[in-house]
Structure 1
Amino acid sequence: MAKKVIKIATRQSILAQVQARAVGDAIVKKHPDYEYELHFITTTGDKFMGDLSKVGGKVAFVKEVDEALLNGEAHIAAHSMKDVPTDMPEGLVIKAMLPRADIRDAIVCREGEDFANLKEGAIVGTSSVRRAAQLRYAFPHLEVKPVRGNVQTRLDKLRKREYDALVLAKAGLDRLDLEKRISDVLEPDMMCPAVSQGAIGVECRADDAEMVKIVESINDEPTWHCVNTERAYLDHLGGSCHTPIAGFVEITKGGNLRLIGLVASEDGKQILRTRHKMGYDEWEKLARTAADDLFDQGAEAIIAATHRH
């Protein structure tokens, strides 16, 4: 009997394809009566190489993928959860997350060069306002500039000496088998990660009972719990992809949740930090408490300033 085919909507970058295949492989392993194929989508974010804030921020990477689900071109979609807005489009739901990869950021330098030895004024490339703010705070002698394009495009710009170093998500480099290109790994106390960093989410239509059941079967509950706590924290803060907000949740040895978060000004001159621990089932209270702590320190003014830009 012919196997049922699940169409997975994905962007065309190599990294996006690797992530989509990870989702498809997880489904097929659990449900051998199914097979999958990738349905490629070119998003606004892929086509536009300027300032993403001009085209809606990170939603530019998911809007067309969401439309493909809603109009029936695909059954499910694979997303980097850090690109998924906290306010989901009506009719679509995230029903699973794969086991989380490394949450940390990594530095890539040219071969034979070292981040610690970069001279004053050296140019560091990043597409993230979160990374840029923390770099400016920790390394004020370096010049931080935006860089766009997929991982390979950015590595080419590094090779051509347009940049002296790049900061990228370690999870993406690992998934592309580029671990050997990593010059240094930034621990979370040095570079607090993006909310949801390292997590792959699986989206489907809320009314597609068959897909909802299949997708739910591959969910990694600890990742799901931590990432949804982080997303609730981000939602309480009311930040966007234009705001230097960071945060991650970890499960302690005692089974509690610990949230470590940060809000920064774009120039890196103001850094507000929060750290709270609560019971595993108190995730909503934890998210709200951490956000309120940052508001008490003055985060509202910082966030409002970034929204005005």
Structure 2
Amino acid sequence: MSAPIAAAGAPALALAQTRALAARFSVEVEIVEITTQGDTDRSSLQQIGGTGVFVSALRDALLDGRVDVAVHSMKDLPTADAPGIELAAVAKREDSRDALCARDGLSFAELPDGAKVGTGSPRRAAQLRVARPDLEVVDIRGNVPTRLARAQGDAETGEGADLDAVVLALAGLKRLGLEGAATDILDLVDFPTAPAQGALAVEIRMDDAAARSAVAKTDHASTRAAVAAERRVLSGLEAGCAAPLAAHAEVADGMLFLTAIAYAPDGSRKLAASHAYTLDSTKPAELQAAAVDVGDRAVADLMEAGAAELIR
């Protein structure tokens, strides 16, 4: 069996992560490049809507039979179920932290007052403003090399930089072999990441048994549970992937832990909730029950504190 696999557009990161994951499927694959709105539109995520802009074209290709499997960065997936589509696997998460990529090897603490830091993420922008109100946060778009060049210049000449630093997902840098560009790794205490950041989602057509079997061994139960808890917060607050919302969960020491933080876009306020669930086992059903429990409790706390209005 040869199963066409859809990559999330032509950018190098989408292809790199799709090829790496597809190599673990139990069948030979053909990579099909599909360009999404998020790949071509350089407007801010808030302007183009955020939710689904990196996903819709792949799902269309899946439903009309051009491909049998679609691979996504899971943080880009809308939280609502897509008719006719099944989440067949969630691959083991790469390091979910954010990375600072600055000029001259500067760490976050070493950035000078008034330094210009680029990001296209409202969540990262709010966190930067909370941690360093003196910084000038600049909205940027583009692929990873383009954004890196804004801070560190052309890869060969070092010329062309117009920012002091950019913030990118460490997982993406690693998948592209560019982790050496990171000058500081931002800790999860002050910079918790977007729901499902660092995880890859594998979608198939509903009830496609052959595709499900082909991708089954890439599913990682603990990662699936952690990102389910994080995305429960996203859906509970009715927030899109462009909302200034962080949620990070992990399974460790027989427990599932979740911390979620909602930010005012200008960094003036934040609201946090943390919960844990003691696991009786690591069976998928138990893990998913834990994800629902901690996610719902975090949502209840945040809603009561006014988070839904804050992030909007």
Instruction: Give the alignment's TM-score, normalised by structure 1.
Output: 0.92
1:60 and 1:293 map into 2 onto residues whose CA distance is 30
Q: 2:73 aligns with which of 67, 75, 80?
A: 80
Structure 2: how far apart are the matches of 1:168 and 1:236? 26
Q: Tell me the equivalent position of 1:157.
A: 150
Q: Is the 8 A contact 1:69 1:75 kept in 2?
A: yes
Seq. identity, %:
39
Asked if 1:169 corresponds to 2:169, the answer is yes
What is the CA deviation profile of residues 76-125 of structure 1, one whole-angstrom value per residue up to 9, with x for unaligned ones?
A: 01111000110132111211011111011110012344432222221100
Equivalence for 1:294:
302
Q: Distance in 1 between matches of 2:126 and 2:209?
A: 43
SS of the residue aligned with 1:57?
coil
Determine helix, strand or coil for the equivalent of 1:117: coil
Give the secondary structure class of the aligned counterpart of 1:273: strand
Q: TM-score, normalised by structure 2?
A: 0.91
Q: Structure 2: how far apart are the matches of 1:226 and 1:117? A: 33
Does 2:12 match 1:14? yes
Aligned residues: 295
1:145 matched to 2:141:
no
d(CA) in 1 for partners of 2:85 and 2:107? 45
- 1:234-273 CA distance string (max 9 Å, x none): 11111112321110111121x1111011000000011111
Aligned partners of 1:242 and 1:103: how far apart in 2?
17
**2:46 corresponds to 1:49:** no
2:56 corresponds in structure 1 to: 63
Which amino acid counterpart does residue 244 of structure 1 have in structure 2? P
Aligned to 2:156: none
Alignment match, 1:209: 209
2-structure distance, mates of 1:240, 1:114: 30
Instruction: Choose which of 96, 99, 121 in structure 2 pairs with 1:106.
Output: 99
Deviation at 1:297, TM superposition (A): 1.8
CA deviation profile, 1:184-207 (whole Å, cap 9, x unmatched): 011110101110011011111013
CA distance in 2, matches of 1:93, 1:118: 45
Q: Which moved more, 1:84-93 or 1:71-80?
A: 84-93
Corresponding position of 2:265: 266
SS of alignment partner, residue 288 of structure 1:
helix
Task: Answer whether contact 2:45 2:120 (CA < 8 A) is retained.
Answer: no
State the alpha-carbon separation in 1 of the partners of residues 183 and 105 from structure 2: 9
Q: Which runs of 4+ in 1 moved over 6 A?
A: none
C-alpha deviation, 1:50, in angstroms = 1.0
**Aligned partner of 1:85: which letter?**
P
User: Which amino acid is the alignment partner of residue 294 of structure 2?
Assistant: L
Residue identity in the other structure for 2:5: I
Which string of whole-angstrom CA distances, capped at 9 and with x for unpartnered residues, describes residues 22-45 of structure 1? 221110xxx2xx211110011111
What is aligned with 2:278? 279
Q: In the alignment, is the contact (CA less than 8 A) between 1:45 and 1:58 conserved in 2?
A: no
- Aligned-partner residue type, residue 300 of structure 1: A
Check whether the contact 1:257–1:278 (CA below 8 A) recurs between aligned residues: yes
Q: Secondary structure at the match of 1:16?
A: helix
The 8 Å contact of residues 150 and 166 in structure 2, kept in 1 or not, is answered as no
Cα 1:283/1:114, change in 2 over 3 Å: closer
Matched residues in 2 for 1:120 and 1:16: separation? Answer: 35
Q: Relative to structure 2, which stretch is displaced further, 13-22 or 110-119?
A: 110-119
RMSD between superposed Cα atoms in Å: 1.3
Q: Which residue of 1 aligns with 2:282?
A: none
How far is 1:216 from its partner? 2.6
Q: C-alpha distance in 2, partners of 1:72/1:258? A: 39
Residues 206, 212 of structure 1: 8 Å contact kept: no
The one-letter code matched in structure 2 to 1:13 is P
| 1:38 to 2:31 alignment | yes
Query: What amino acid sits opposite 2:2 in the alignment?
Result: V
What stretches of structure 1 of length at least 5 have no aligned partner?
Answer: none
